């Protein structure tokens, strides 16, 4: 799964064997809201909860790296969440 960011949006490109791979887009603000909602529901210490907006925003600018403080598991979870969201069609 490749994540690409432009000025106002986060681009997710999923590579699925046997299917044509098309980049789907999740706008930065939507990605921030989605991930903030997910993490706000988790049991984080108060010091981490106070910094979630900054942690997630920072990670969205460099999604191939691990999120500050939260580590690699959070980064993998966030990439999966945004990839799934990008492939929902209404």
pLDDT at 41: 93
pLDDT at 88: 77
pLDDT at 11: 53
Q: How far apart are CA 75 and CA 61, in angstroms?
A: 12
The H or E element containing residue 13 is strand 9-13
Which 3 state secondary structure label does DSSP give 69? coil
Domain boundaries, the chain: 2-86
The whole model's pTM is what?
0.72
With contact defined as beta carbons under 8 Å apart, do 2 and 12 qualify? yes
Task: Flag residues of the chain having pLDDT under 70.
Answer: 1-23, 89-90
């Amino acid at each position: 799964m490749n994540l690409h960011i432009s000025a106002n949006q986060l681009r997710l490109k999923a590579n699925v064997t046997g299917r044509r791979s098309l980049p789907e887009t999740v706008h930065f603000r939507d990605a921030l809201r989605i991930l903030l909602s997910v993490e706000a529901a988790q049991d984080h210490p108060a010091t981490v909860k106070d910094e979630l907006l900054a942690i997630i925003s920072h990670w969205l600018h460099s999604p191939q790296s691990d999120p500050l403080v939260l580590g690699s598991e959070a980064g993998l979870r966030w990439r999966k969440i945004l990839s799934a969201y990008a492939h929902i069609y209404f």
